[in-house]
Chain A
Amino acid sequence: MIFVSTLLPIDVALGVIVYWLLLAFAGLLLQNTRTITRVIFPAGAAGALVLAAAALSGLGGPANVAVLPLGLPDLPFHLRMDSLSAFFMLLLGAASIGISLYSAGYFRDYEGNELGLLCFEYHIFLAAMALVFLADDAYLFMVAWEAMALSSYFLVTTDHVVPEIRRAGFLYLLIAHVGAIAILMCFGVMQGGHGDYTFATMRNAHLNELWASVTFLLALFGFGAKAGIVPLHVWLPEAHPAAPSPVSAMMSGIMLKTAIYGILRVTFDLIDVQLWWWGVLALTLGLITALFGVIFAAVQTDMKRLLAYSSIENIGIILVGIGLAITFHVFRKDAVAALALTATLYHALNHAFMKGLLFLGTGSVLHATGERKLGKLGGLIHPMPKLALLVLVGALAIAGLPPLNGFVSEWLILQAFLLSPGLPHSYLNMLIPIAAAALVLASALAGYVMVKFYGVIFLGQPREGKFEDAHDIGIWERIGLGWLALGCILLGVFPVFVILLIDPVTQLMVGHTLGGSAAQTGWLWLTPLEPGRASYSPLILFLIVIVGVIFTMLAVKKFYHGRLRHGPAWDCGFPEQTARMQDTAEGFGQPIRQIFEPFFGVTRIVPTPFDKHPHYRGESRDRIWDYAYLPIASVTEKLSALIGRLQHGRIHIYLLYSFLTLLALLAFVR
C-alpha cells in the first residue's frame, strides 16, 4: 500500500496520458496491422483501465494539483484533479476500455500505414480528452481542447477520398473552432482583467451579474457547439456517420461529455454567482434539443445518422438536468439541485456506455454487410446472434427500460421535476410540469426510435440481398461490446453505488449530496428524497422481470406448443410475399413524419400508379440548416468577395497597404 499512498491519482493520470502518447507514436512508427491491433489497442485499453482506477480513487479525495514545466516560458501548465475531473476521467477510462478492445478486432482489415496513422490520432485523441479534464488553466485547457478537436477531425476524415466525408470533416472543424473562439472569450472574461489565466484566479475573481451572464452565455455557446445543442448540432449527423465506428463511439460517447464537463466547470466552479434565468435557458434549450434530436432520429434511414440524432437527444436530456440544477441551486433548493445534478452526471455516464455500445454495434453490422442504409438491412439476428444480443442490451438501455441504466437516470431527472418544491416564480412553476411532459415525450420517442433501430436491422428478413455470409463478431469485438453491455447492466442494477460515487461531485458543485437519502433504505432501494414519495429497486424489478419472462416462456411451452399449426397463410390478398414488403425504416418513421411535418423540409417523389419502374423517394431536411446556416454562409461569401477586392495582384499596392497602416499606426501611437 506504500505504492498507493505515495502516488497521487493525478500522477497516475498523467502517467496514463504520457503512456497513450507513447502508444500513439509507436503506432505511427510501426505501421503494422497485426502489431497495432493485437498489441497497441489492447495496451491502450489497459491504460484506460488504470486511468479509470486512478479516477475512482481520486473521487472524493482532496484535489490534487500539479504544475508541469512545459508550455511557454513563464506560462507553465497547471493541472488539477478534483472530484468533477475525476468523475469525467472515470467516464473516459471506463468507456474507452470497451472501445479500445473493440478496435483491436475491428481494425484488423485496415492497411498498415493507414492504421498506423489512425492509431496515432486515436491515442492522441484519448490523451487530449484526459488533459481537458485535468487542465487547471485556460492555456492548457485550450491546447488540450484544440488537440482533441484536431485529432478527432483527422479521425473523422479517415476515409478522406470520399468527398462527402471531407465535407463532413470541414463542417465539424468549422463549428468546433467557432465554439473554441467562444470558449476562449469566455476565459478572457472570467480572468477579469487579472491577466492570469489559471483557474484558481478565475475561482477567486468576482464578476458582476452582467459579466457573469456574458461568461455563461459564451460558455453555453462554445461548449454547446461541441456538445451539439440545437442549433449548433448540424455537424453531428454529418461527422458521426463519416467516421469509423469506434471513432463515432468515442466522439459520441466521450467527447460530447467534455463539453458537458466544460459547462459544469464554468457554471458551478469558475463563476462565483449564478442567475436563475441561466437555468431556464439551459432547460429550454435542452428540451428543444432533446425533442429535435429524437424526432429527427425517428425519420432517419441511415443507422449511424439515427444514432447521431439520438446523441443530440441525450445531450438535450443532460442539458435539461444542468438547467434544473442551476435553477434549484440559485433558489437554494440544494437537495433537489443535487438530485438534478446527480441525474445529469449519471446520464452522462450511462450515455457513454450505451451510445458507445450501439455505435460499435453498427460498426460490426457495417463490417459484416457493408451496408448502413436501414432500408437494405434486416434479419441480422440469424447470422449474427451474439452481436444482436449485445446490441439489444444497448438499445433497451437507451430506450430507458428498467432494469437497465438509461431508466435510472431518466427516472431521476423526472423525479427532480416532480419533487421540485414551489419555486418563487409562478411562471417557472407552470413551466416545470410542461417541461417534464416534454421530457417524457422525448424518452417515449427514444423508445420508438430504438424499436425502429433494432427491429429494422436485426429482426425480420433481409430486405435486399442476403446476408447469410455475414460473419458474427470476433473475440475482441465480443469483449469490447460485452464490457460496455456489462456496464449498462451494472449501472442500471446498482444505482445506489453509482450515486455514492457521484456524491463528491455534487458536494463540490452545489454543496449537497444525494447519497444519504438515496441509500437510506439500504442499497437495494433507490430513494431520491423520501421513501414516502418514490423509490425504485432495479434488482427486485429485474428479478420480477426475469421470473415473469421465465414463467411466460414455460406457460407458452406448456399450453401453446403442440397446438402450433403450420399451414398456407391466407396472405391477405398478397399471395407472393417478399422480404421487401416488410415495414421499412421510412415506413416505420412515417407517422412521426406526419405528426411533426412542420419541423421537416420534406420532399417526396411518389410514382404514379402506371409507372412501370416505380421509385419512391422521401427526404427530410433539417430546416435549421436552410434558415440559419445557409444565410450565414451566403453573407460570409459576400463579405469575403468584398474583402477580395483588396487583392489586386500588384505588389506595389500591397506594399502601399502596409505602408499606410504603418503611417497610421505611427501617427496613432504618438
Chain B
Amino acid sequence: MENFYGQLINLFAALLLLIAFGMLSQRRVLSLINLFAMQGLVLSVSTMFVAYTSHQHHLYYSAALTLVLKVLILPWILHRLIRKLNVKWDVETLINIPTTMLVGIALVVFAFNLAAPISLMAGTITKSSLGIAMASVLLSFLMMITRSKAVPQVIGFLAMENGLFFAATSATYGMPMVVELGIALDVLVGMFILGIFFFQIRETFDSLDLKHMEKLKED
C-alpha cells in the first residue's frame, strides 16, 4: 500500500513539473494564473498524501495553508489585479518559447543530477521527487528571467516558492510549522507590496513593461 502512495506522490510530482513547463510556455496572463492555482492544488494534494503516509500531522496544516493561500487567495488577488490593471494581453517573452523550453530541459537534467546524491541519503518516502522540486524552482526562476512584464515575473516568484515548499516536503517532510507560517505570511505580504508596485510602475511609466526601468540606471 505504501508503494501505491509513493507512486501517487510521484505522479503528483510529475504533474507539478509538467505545470511548471506549462507556465514556462504559457503566453496569456490569465492562463498563467490558472496554471499557478493548479500547481498550488497539486502541491496541496501531494502534501496531504505525504502527511497521510508518513503520519506527520503538521503536514496537514501545511496542506491546508497551501490550499487556502495558493489556490484561493493569491490567484484571487492576481485576478483582481489584472482586471484593475487591464493587462490581459499576451505575454511577450524575451527569448522565444521553444528556446526557453530547451533551456528548461537542460535545467531539469541538471537538477536531477544534483538531487541524486541527496536523494540517496534522505530516508523519506518522497525522496525521488526532490529532483523534481529543484527543477521546478529553477524553471520558475527561468520564467522570471525570460518574461518582460511585471505580472508574470511575480507569478514566477510565487511559483518558485511552490517549488521550495515541495522541496522541503520531499527532503525532510516539511519545515517546522513556524517557518512555514512565516513564509506563508511573507508571500502574502510580498504579494501586497508587489501589487502596490504594479500600480506605481504603471503610473510612472504608463506601462508594466520592465524595460522602462532602465531609465533608473545611474550614469
Contact = CB atoms under 8 A, between A and B. Distances in A.
Interface of A: 644, 647-652, 655-656, 659, 662-663, 666-667, 670
B211 interface: yes
B141 A652 contact: no
B217 A647 contact: yes
User: Among A651, A662, A663, A667, which residue has the most Cβ atoms of chain B within 10 A?
Assistant: A651
A644 to B, nearest CB: 8
Interface residues on B, range: 20 to 34
Contact of A655 (B114, B117, B141, B216): B141
Contact of A651 (B117, B153, B218): B153
B210 A670 contact: no
A666 B217 contact: no
A666 B214 contact: no
A655 B217 contact: no
A649 B213 contact: yes
Q: What are the 4 closest A-B residue pairs judged by CB atoms, nearest first?
A: A649-B217, A649-B214, A655-B145, A651-B210
Given A659-B141, A670-B114, A670-B117, A651 B213 contact: yes
A383 to B, nearest CB: 54
B215 interface: yes
A232 B213 CA distance: 42
B146 interface: yes
Given A652-B148, A666-B114, A670-B117, A659 B214 contact: no
B114 A650 contact: no
Nearest to A663: B110
Interface string B73-105: 000000000000000000000100000000000
Nearest to B145: A655
A649 B216 contact: yes
A652 B211 CA distance: 9
Nearest to A650: B214
A667 B213 CA distance: 32
Contacts of B142: 659
Nearest to A658: B141
B144 interface: yes
* Interface SS majority for chain B: helix
A652 B146 contact: yes
Contacts of A652: 94, 144-146, 148, 210
B127 to A, nearest CB: 17
Contacts of B146: 652
Interface string B178-219: 000000000000000000000000000000001101111110
A650 B148 CA distance: 10
Contacts of A649: 213-217
18 contacts: A647-B217, A648-B217, A649-B213, A649-B215, A650-B213, A651-B153, A652-B145, A652-B146, A655-B141, A655-B145, A659-B138, A659-B141, A663-B110, A663-B138, A666-B114, A667-B110, A670-B113, A670-B117
Interface in B131-167: 138, 141-142, 144-146, 148, 153
Contacts of A648: 214, 217
Contacts of B214: 648-650
User: Among A647, A648, A652, A656, which residue has the most Cβ atoms of chain B within 10 A?
Assistant: A652
User: Among A649, A662, A663, A667, which residue has the most Cβ atoms of chain B within 10 A?
Assistant: A649
Contacts of A655: 141, 144-145
A654 to B, nearest CB: 9
Contact of A656 (B145, B210, B215): B145
A74 B16 CA distance: 41
Nearest to B156: A655
Contacts of B217: 647-649
A670 B115 CA distance: 9
Contacts of A667: 110, 114
A650 B211 contact: yes
Contacts of B141: 655, 659, 662
Nearest to A655: B145
A66 B196 CA distance: 51
Contacts of A647: 217-218
A656 B216 CA distance: 19
Nearest to B217: A649
Nearest to B117: A670
Contacts of B218: 644, 647
Contacts of A663: 110, 138
B144 A650 contact: no
Contacts of B94: 652
Contacts of A662: 138, 141
A79 B114 CA distance: 47
A652 B150 CA distance: 11
Nearest to A662: B141
A662 B94 CA distance: 21
Contacts of A656: 145
A659 B210 CA distance: 18
Nearest to B147: A652
Nearest to A652: B145
B157 to A, nearest CB: 10
Nearest to B134: A666
Contacts of B114: 666-667, 670
Interface string B106-136: 0000100110010000000000000000000
Nearest to A651: B210
A381 B148 CA distance: 76
A203 to B, nearest CB: 40
A650 B145 contact: no
B218 to A, nearest CB: 7
Contacts of B138: 659, 662-663
B130 to A, nearest CB: 13
A659 B137 CA distance: 11
Contacts of A650: 210-211, 213-214
A209 B110 CA distance: 47
A670 B113 CA distance: 9
Contacts of B210: 650-652
Contacts of B213: 649-651
A656 B217 CA distance: 17
B30 to A, nearest CB: 23
B156 to A, nearest CB: 9
A35 to B, nearest CB: 43
A364 B13 CA distance: 78
Given A649-B217, A650-B213, A662-B141, 10 more contacts: A644-B218, A647-B217, A649-B213, A649-B214, A649-B216, A650-B210, A656-B145, A662-B138, A666-B114, A670-B113
A662 B110 CA distance: 12
B4 to A, nearest CB: 32
A659 B138 CA distance: 8
Interface in B7-54: none
